[in-house]
C-alpha cells in the first residue's frame, strides 16, 4: 500500500478514540476535511458529535490530494457559466470564495499548524489558445467582482525561479488561494473539535441507515448506533451508505508523486492543462515538488479504478508533464508515489442531500473540495440543528437538472 506525502509526514500524536457507543446526539460519518469541519462546527455549537470512519482521519481524497486551497470551481468559470447560467455560476463561485476565506479563518482561530501559505495559485497556459481562454476567464471573473489577473509569459517567469517550458505562454493568477499540509489540516480540525467535545471512533464501517422511532439507526460492523441526526461525508463512497447517491457520484482514482528536494523556485500553487483532465502541484516547504493529474492517459480516465496503487502510464505522464512545465526538473528523482479516491459528478459540483429526516449527506466534490469544506460544513451543522437544509446550499441539491 502506497502512502501519500501527507500521511508520511504527519508528525502529530494520534487523536483519542473510544469504542462506538450505542447512542449519540449526532454522528458524522467520514473524517476527511468536510467531515472534520462539520464536526468542528457542531462541537462549537455545543453538540457532542461522534465522528466515525472506517479507516481514520484524512484516509480518502483529502489525505491524498495536492494540498491546494484555491477559491473557484472544479470547472472553468466560463464552462460553469455556460452549464449553469450566469447567476448560478456567480453564486457558486462566491460560495467557494467565502469557503476558502472561512477555512483560513478557522485555521487562524484554532491555531492549526498546517503549513498554510497564502501566495495564490497560477494556472499555467500552454499555447495561445489556452492563453486566450485564460484572458476571457479573467475578464469574466473580474466583471463579477472576483479576484483574478492575467499574466503574460514574462510575468509568469518572474514568479518562477527556474526556466519555464517553451510552450508556456502565460498564466491566470488566482490571488484567493494557498497551499497547506492536508493531513495536518484535518488533524487540527479534529483536535479543535475534540476540545469542544467531539468524540472519535475509527475502524467503523457503516452498513446501512434507517429511520427508527424518530431517530436514525446506523448499523455498523461493530453494532448499531442510535442518533438524533447524522451527516454522511464519505465522498467517493457515498452510494454505499446513501443509495440515492450511488448513480450520481462516481469514484475516480487520482494519482500524484513527490520529487526529491530542490532549491526553492515557486511560492504559490500551480496548475496546467497539459492533458485534458489537468495537472496540479506545489513546491513543499521541504523543497520537494508535489505534482499530480494526467488521468486522461489512463483507461477510462481512471473512473472506477480503486485507489492505493498507481499505474505506470499515468506516473510516466506526470513526470513528463512536470518536465514540460519546468525543463530543469525533467528526469528528477521521485521520492514517493501514491493515489487516492476522488468523487465526481456529471456537472463537477458536489451534492448536498437530505434523504430522510435528520439525515444529511454530501459528496462528489470532483477534486475540488478544499474551498467548500468549511462553508458546507457550517451549513450542514446548521441543518442538523434546524432540521432543514439552508437555502445557501440550494444550488448543490440532488435534484438539479445539470446532474442528468
CATH of the domain at 41: 3.50.50.60
Whether residue 202 sits in one domain with residue 55:
yes
Whether residue 242 sits in one domain with residue 171:
no
Residue numbers of the domain that contains 168: 118-176+250-344
Whether residue 218 sits in one domain with residue 254:
no
Q: Residue 272: which H helix or E strand, with range?
A: strand 269-272
Whether residue 357 sits in one domain with residue 242:
yes
Whether residue 257 sits in one domain with residue 245:
no
Asked if residue 371 has pLDDT above 90, the reply is yes
Which residues neighbour 21 within 8 Å (Cβ) at sequence distance 6 or greater?
Answer: 50, 199, 225
Distances (CA, A) of 356 to 211, 360, 381, 387: 8, 8, 16, 10
Whether residue 200 sits in one domain with residue 331:
no
Whether residue 240 sits in one domain with residue 188:
yes
109 belongs to a structural domain: no
Report the number of distinct structural domains present in the chain.
2
157 belongs to a structural domain: yes
Q: What is the mean pLDDT of residues 143-169?
A: 98
98 belongs to a structural domain: no
113 belongs to a structural domain: no
Whether residue 167 sits in one domain with residue 186:
no
Whether residue 191 sits in one domain with residue 244:
yes
89 belongs to a structural domain: no
- What pLDDT does 187 receive? 98
Whether residue 328 sits in one domain with residue 282:
yes
101 belongs to a structural domain: no
What pLDDT digit, counting tens, does each position of 65-124 carry? 999 999 999 999 999 999 999 999 999 999 999 999 999 999 999 999 999 999 999 999
Residue 392 DSSP label = G
What pLDDT digit, counting tens, does each position of 199-235 carry? 999 999 999 999 989 999 999 999 999 999 999 999 9
Of the candidates 294, 322, 344, which is a domain's last residue? 344
Whether residue 161 sits in one domain with residue 270:
yes
270 belongs to a structural domain: yes
Q: How many residues would you count in the chain?
A: 404
151 belongs to a structural domain: yes
What pLDDT digit, counting tens, does each position of 230-285 carry? 999 999 999 999 999 999 999 999 999 999 999 999 999 999 999 999 999 999 99
Q: What is the mean pLDDT of residues 130-144?
A: 98
Of the candidates 323, 344, 365, which is a domain's last residue? 344
- What pLDDT does 160 receive? 98
Going by their DSSP bridges, the two strands 168-174 and 269-272 should be labelled as unpaired
Amino acid at each position: 500500500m502506497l502512502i501519500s506525502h501527507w500521511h508520511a509526514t504527519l508528525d502529530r500524536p494520534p487523536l483519542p478514540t473510544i469504542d462506538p457507543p450505542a447512542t449519540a446526539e449526532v454522528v458524522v460519518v467520514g473524517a476527511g476535511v468536510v467531515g472534520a469541519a462539520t464536526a468542528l462546527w457542531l462541537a462549537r455549537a455545543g453538540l457532542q458529535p461522534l465522528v466515525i470512519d472506517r479507516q481514520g482521519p484524512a484516509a480518502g481524497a483529502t489525505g491524498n490530494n495536492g494540498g491546494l486551497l484555491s477559491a473557484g470551481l472544479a470547472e472553468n468559470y466560463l464552462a460553469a457559466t455556460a452549464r449553469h447560467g450566469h447567476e448560478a455560476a456567480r453564486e457558486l463561485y462566491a460560495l467557494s470564495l467565502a469557503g476558502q476565506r472561512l477555512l483560513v479563518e478557522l485555521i487562524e482561530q484554532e491555531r492549526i499548524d498546517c503549513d498554510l501559505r497564502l501566495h495564490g495559485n497560477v494556472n499555467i497556459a500552454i499555447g495561445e489558445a489556452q492563453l486566450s481562454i485564460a484572458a476571457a476567464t479573467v475578464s469574466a471573473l473580474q466583471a463579477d467582482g472576483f479576484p483574478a489577473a492575467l499574466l503574460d509569459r514574462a510575468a509568469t517567469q518572474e514568479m518562477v525561479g527556474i526556466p519555464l517550458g517553451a510552450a508556456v505562454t502565460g498564466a491566470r493568477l488566482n490571488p484567493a488561494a494557498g497551499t497547506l499540509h492536508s493531513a495536518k489540516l484535518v488533524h487540527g480540525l479534529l483536535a479543535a473539535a475534540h476540545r469542544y467535545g467531539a468524540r472519535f471512533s475509527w475502524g467503523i464501517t457503516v452498513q446501512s441507515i434507517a429511520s427508527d422511532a424518530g431517530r436514525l439507526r446506523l448499523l455498523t460492523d461493530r453494532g448499531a448506533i442510535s442518533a438524533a441526526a447524522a451527516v454522511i461525508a464519505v465522498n467517493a463512497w457515498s452510494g454505499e451508505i446513501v443509495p440515492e447517491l450511488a448513480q450520481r457520484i462516481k469514484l475516480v482514482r487520482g494519482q500524484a508523486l513527490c520529487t526529491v528536494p530542490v532549491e526553492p523556485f515557486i511560492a504559490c500553487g500551480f496548475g496546467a492543462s497539459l492533458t485534458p483532465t489537468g495537472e496540479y502541484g506545489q513546491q513543499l516547504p521541504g523543497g520537494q515538488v508535489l505534482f499530480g493529474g494526467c488521468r486522461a492517459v489512463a483507461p477510462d480516465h481512471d473512473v472506477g479504478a480503486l485507489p492505493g496503487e498507481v499505474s505506470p502510464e499515468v506516473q510516466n505522464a506526470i513526470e513528463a508533464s512536470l518536465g514540460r512545465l519546468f525543463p530543469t526538473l525533467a528526469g528528477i528523482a521521485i521520492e514517493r508515489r501514491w493515489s487516492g479516491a476522488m468523487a465526481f459528478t456529471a456537472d463537477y459540483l458536489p451534492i448536498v442531500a437530505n434523504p430522510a429526516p435528520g439525515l444529511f449527506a454530501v459528496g462528489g466534490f470532483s477534486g475540488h473540495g478544499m474551498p467548500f469544506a468549511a462553508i458546507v460544513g457550517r451549513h450542514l451543522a446548521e441543518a442538523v440543528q434546524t432540521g432543514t437544509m439552508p437555502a445557501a446550499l440550494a444550488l448543490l441539491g440532488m435534484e438539479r437538472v445539470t446532474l442528468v
